[in-house]
Amino acid sequence: MIMGCDDGIKEGMTRRNIKLVLEYDGTAYRGWQRQGNLPTIQKILEESIARITQEPVILHGSGRTDAGVHALNQVANFRTSSRIPAANLLRGLNSLLPGDIVIRETEDVDEEFHSRYSAKSKSYLYRILNSPVRSPLQRNSAWFIRCCLDLEKMAGAISLLCGKHDFTSFCAAGSDVKSCVRTIIRAEIERETEQVITISVEADGFLRHMVRNIVGTLVEIGAGQDSSEIMRDILEAKDRGCAGITAPPQGLFLQKVSY
Amino acid sequence: MIMGCDDGIKEGMTRRNIKLVLEYDGTAYRGWQRQGNLPTIQKILEESIARITQEPVILHGSGRTDAGVHALNQVANFRTSSRIPAANLLRGLNSLLPGDIVIRETEDVDEEFHSRYSAKSKSYLYRILNSPVRSPLQRNSAWFIRCCLDLEKMAGAISLLCGKHDFTSFCAAGSDVKSCVRTIIRAEIERETEQVITISVEADGFLRHMVRNIVGTLVEIGAGQDSSEIMRDILEAKDRGCAGITAPPQGLFLQKVSY
């Protein structure tokens, strides 16, 4: 079937480029990326698209989300020779997809559009439940922290991350990217309710586990004795061992991809 | 074991009365009430309490929640001859309970206290997701309504329910209560966010499916041609057949029990 697909291109057949905007609850999945027969978001989506368009498909995501991480507006794109209008694709796909994945928008885009390479920035949201007791209703959508967190100190620390820096200290060990330099456009922390703290980070790109490593470090600063200034030393050390723990995946949401 | 428990009382052994405040995600349960070996909140809690106190226990809830219904602050009480301090009971029980149930508070109360009979009022919250697309992240905590709802009309209709009325029209068919007269102390509808509508109802007591039947009726009014005044006719008809559908369980939260 892949052969047939390639042939289509060679013969100059018109191929559309479809952009999808997706929401998903990542709790039941091994993350975005296809891993053989394991349940992943990409696998479920590619199978559903292939069923509707009656041809094999490769779906490009704006980035991989880890197991247990959610998305409010993940963006992906695929090429197809199907003539089904975008609005009908949306309805058809949503009728096939399970309750924990939905397509919010479908759109025909320029053939140059690539959900990953065309992205100008991405925003992530991280939710912390800061409460004396864990919450059953938020167990899959927040990191439960029992001890008291100093929000002002965390705000001071996160502000030091804004701008263009080498984020090696916040990159997962074993990651093989060429450069760890990224630009954080916006980094904010706020108290959403009495017990829920949200951390938002927008950047031109993210390293593996970058948001979760920043959040883990912020929580250690908010709960500890060091001043917020320690964030500067951690950043400058360019050493993963100097930063804090990796925050768990269930508090993380891919919020927006901007083009 | 029940025999031993009764003996304890006969011998004049001191029995404490412990009040619990609970949060639970009702998604995986067949509701509050014990039903043989089926997974219910009461069964899980009674088994955990018995393991900690080393004696059989009967847990009285403030009321039964249906399958799929959640609680933010359900109240229950049980009698025990255990001498474990209330704070230790809380920690011990929470270490045994699954992630979707938690005890928020434990307290020694007067022997007359009964979570159901001592209650002065109860409050429920109902969440509606009013959006063109379903939401994976809210699929177990809101009723998804695609069509446009007229919030002002719904507010007018709900206000007509306040006060002391015969709520037969909103009582589940087949229910065998002596009287359907209840007093609604507060009934409000508001837009929590652009897409989330919340309905709060506080009353001195609730009939079976009463909140869900009120919400189903409100949604039919909000989506339909009738004026909000039709709520008065529905109430006066004292006929379940005159009211709207029963809203699904996943949008309903037992919010508070007042004593």
ipTM of the complex: 0.90
Q: Is the pLDDT of residue B64 over 60?
A: yes
Longest dimension (CA), chain A: 66
Q: Is the pLDDT of residue B94 over 80?
A: yes
Contact A166, A98 (CB under 8 A): no
Residue type, A114: H
The two three-digit tokens of residue A12, written as one number? 């100059």
Q: In whole angstroms, give the CA distance from residue B235 to residue B207.
A: 14
pLDDT mean across residues, chain A: 94
Q: Is the pLDDT of residue A143 over 60?
A: yes
Residues from chain A that touch B94, judged by Cβ atoms under 8 A, are 133-134
Residues from chain A that touch B133, judged by Cβ atoms under 8 A, are 23, 94, 102-104
**pLDDT at position B13, please?**
60
Phi and psi at residue B203, in whole multiples of 5°? -150, 165
**pLDDT at position A173, please?**
83
Contact B256, B73 (CB under 8 A): yes
Please count the residue pairs, one from chain A and one from chain B, whose beta carbons lie less than 8 angstroms apart.
Answer: 52
Contact B103, B94 (CB under 8 A): yes
Q: How many Å lie between the alpha carbon of A105 and the closest alpha carbon of chain B? A: 9
Residue type, A210: M
**pLDDT at position A118, please?**
97
Over the stretch A47-68, which tens digit does the pLDDT of each residue have? Answer: 999 999 999 999 999 999 999 9
Q: Do B136 and A94 touch (CB under 8 A)?
A: no
Residues from chain A that touch B104, judged by Cβ atoms under 8 A, are 133
Mutate to test the interface with A, among B95, B134, B137, B141 (most CBs of A within 10 A): B137
Q: Is the pLDDT of residue B7 over 50?
A: no
Over the stretch B115-165, which tens digit does the pLDDT of each residue have? Answer: 999 999 999 999 999 999 999 999 999 999 999 999 999 999 999 999 999
Q: Is the pLDDT of residue A121 over 50?
A: yes
Task: Characterize the bridge pairing of strands B181-191 and A196-203.
Answer: unpaired
Q: Do A134 and B94 touch (CB under 8 A)?
A: yes
Over the stretch A177-203, which tens digit does the pLDDT of each residue have? Answer: 899 999 999 999 999 999 999 999 999
Band of residue A14 on the pLDDT scale cut at 50, 70, 90: confident
Those residues whose C-beta lies under 8 Å from the C-beta of residue A5, and which sit 6 or more positions away, are: A55, A56
Residue type, A76: A
Q: Could you give the 3-state DSSP secondary structure of residue B196?
A: strand
Q: How many Å lie between the alpha carbon of A75 and the closest alpha carbon of chain B? A: 16
Q: Do B136 and A24 touch (CB under 8 A)?
A: yes
Q: In whole angstroms, give the CA distance from residue A184 to residue A162.
A: 5
Over the stretch B100-124, which tens digit does the pLDDT of each residue have? Answer: 999 999 999 999 999 999 999 999 9
**Closest CB to A104 among B70, B101, B133:** B133
Outline where DSSP puts E strands in chain B: 16-24, 60-61, 70-80, 101-109, 121-130, 143-145, 163-166, 181-191, 196-203, 252-258
Q: Do A100 and B139 touch (CB under 8 A)?
A: yes
Contact A175, A159 (CB under 8 A): no
Strand partners of residue B202 = B123, B186
Nearest CA in chain B to A139: B99
Per cent of chain A over pLDDT 70 is 95
Contact B17, B113 (CB under 8 A): yes
Instruction: Supply the Cα-derived Rg of chain B in whole angstroms.
Output: 20
The two three-digit tokens of residue B157, written as one number? 């209709």
**pLDDT at position B230, please?**
96
Q: What domains can be seen in chain B, in order of their start residue?
A: 2-109 (3.30.70.580), 121-258 (3.30.70.660)
**pLDDT at position B8, please?**
41
Phi and psi at residue A203, in whole multiples of 5°? -145, 165
Q: In whole angstroms, give the CA distance from residue B204 to residue B232.
A: 20
Residues from chain B that touch A99, judged by Cβ atoms under 8 A, are 134, 136, 139
The two three-digit tokens of residue B66, written as one number? 């249906």
Band of residue B5 on the pLDDT scale cut at 50, 70, 90: very low
Q: Do A134 and B100 touch (CB under 8 A)?
A: no
Q: Could you give the 3-state DSSP secondary structure of residue A238?
A: coil
Q: What is the mean pLDDT of residues A205-213?
A: 96
Q: In whole angstroms, give the CA distance from residue B101 to residue B44.
A: 9
**Closest CB to B134 among A102, A134, A135:** A102
Q: Is the pLDDT of residue A13 over 80?
A: no
Task: Characterize the bridge pairing of strands B121-130 and B143-145.
Answer: parallel
Residues from chain A that touch B99, judged by Cβ atoms under 8 A, are 134, 136, 139
Q: Do A136 and B104 touch (CB under 8 A)?
A: no
Nearest CA in chain B to A250: B137
Number of other residues whose CB lies within 10 A of the CB of residue A14? 8
Considering only CA atoms, which of B195, B187, B185, B144 is closest in space to residue B163? B185
Cβ burial of A215 (10 Å; 0-12, 13-18, 19+) is buried
CA dihedral A79, A85, A89, A90 (to 10 degrees): 110
CA dihedral B42, B47, B49, B55 (to 10 degrees): 120
Over the stretch B197-237, which tens digit does the pLDDT of each residue have? Answer: 999 999 999 999 999 999 999 999 999 999 999 999 999 99
The two three-digit tokens of residue B26, written as one number? 């009702």
**pLDDT at position B19, please?**
98
Q: Is the pLDDT of residue A1 over 90?
A: no
Q: What is the mean pLDDT of residues B174-189?
A: 93
Contact A231, A214 (CB under 8 A): no
**pLDDT at position A90, please?**
97
Q: Do B102 and A136 touch (CB under 8 A)?
A: yes
Band of residue B3 on the pLDDT scale cut at 50, 70, 90: very low
Considering only CA atoms, which of A164, A214, A225, A163 is closest in space to residue A189? A214
Residues of A with CB under 8 A from a CB of B: 23-25, 70, 72, 94, 99-104, 133-137, 139, 141
